[in-house]
Amino acid sequence: MIGQKNAPMLAPSSEKPSQPKLGALVRKRRKQLGLTLQGLSDATGVSTGYVSQIERDLALPSLGTLAQIAAGLDVELEFFIKSHKPKDAITRAGSRARFSIAGSSISYEALSNDYPGSEMSSYIMHVPVGYESELVSHQGEEIIYILEGEIEQTLDGQVFTMRTGDSLHYSGELPHSWANRSGSPARILWTGTLSVLTPSQSTRLPPISREAEL
């Protein structure tokens, strides 16, 4: 609730000036999700005017209100209040978190670190034989690099056969799809400026054993 009595208020930030302020983080995350101020207001129960004040750093929400906003933006409260440490950014081969989307045969290894203000996401995608995606378009940009195997990439009506070592950088607004029509699984390094997996969409899987793949 807005302006709750006795609710703990966020103290003014003591972070270095180079780190994003709360308002900038809320606005950036909202735009990443394609939400309007009204859309975020509807999702959180926080008034449009108050959300606007928060984004412009004209108001400091209570932790309760900030938790509502975090839920509406599909992030944890810690996204806005925890400090980023260099050790949080490293992942180790064989022990990275692995995810899958319900109903999909692809699994993902998360490479990126979702620290406050980050814009990029990165995954290693494990693509089984016979997989074929739907044709999609969206905001943002993507880079794919074929680590292993072969895929057929369609981009704005053009079809490319991509093999190990090949890469492609493109605007997500161009209609695109891809498929593994080869006889072997493929691994793709995907990097982009949109989040393709969220906690509500994904299921955690055990870490990948490199020995088991050999």
Q: What is the pTM of this model?
A: 0.58
CB 50 within 8 A of CB 2: yes
What are the residue ranges in the chain where pLDDT is below 70?
Answer: 1-20, 81-89, 102-103, 113-118, 194-214
pLDDT digits (tens, 9 = 90+) for 129-146: 999 988 888 778 899 999
Q: Which of 81, 103, 118 is the last residue of a domain?
A: 81
Q: Which of 81, 101, 126 is the last residue of a domain?
A: 81
pLDDT digits (tens, 9 = 90+) for 197-209: 443 344 444 444 3
Q: Which H or E run includes 137?
A: none
Pair (152, 193) in one structural domain: yes
Q: Which two tokens stand for residue 172?
A: 């997500």
- Name residue 48's amino acid: T
Pair (102, 189) in one structural domain: yes
Pair (64, 162) in one structural domain: no
pLDDT of residue 158: 95
Return the CATH number at 184: 2.60.120.10
3 state SS of 205 = strand
- Name residue 79's amino acid: F
Report the distance separating Cα 121 and Cα 106, nearest Å: 17
Q: How far is CA 72 from the centre of its chain?
A: 15
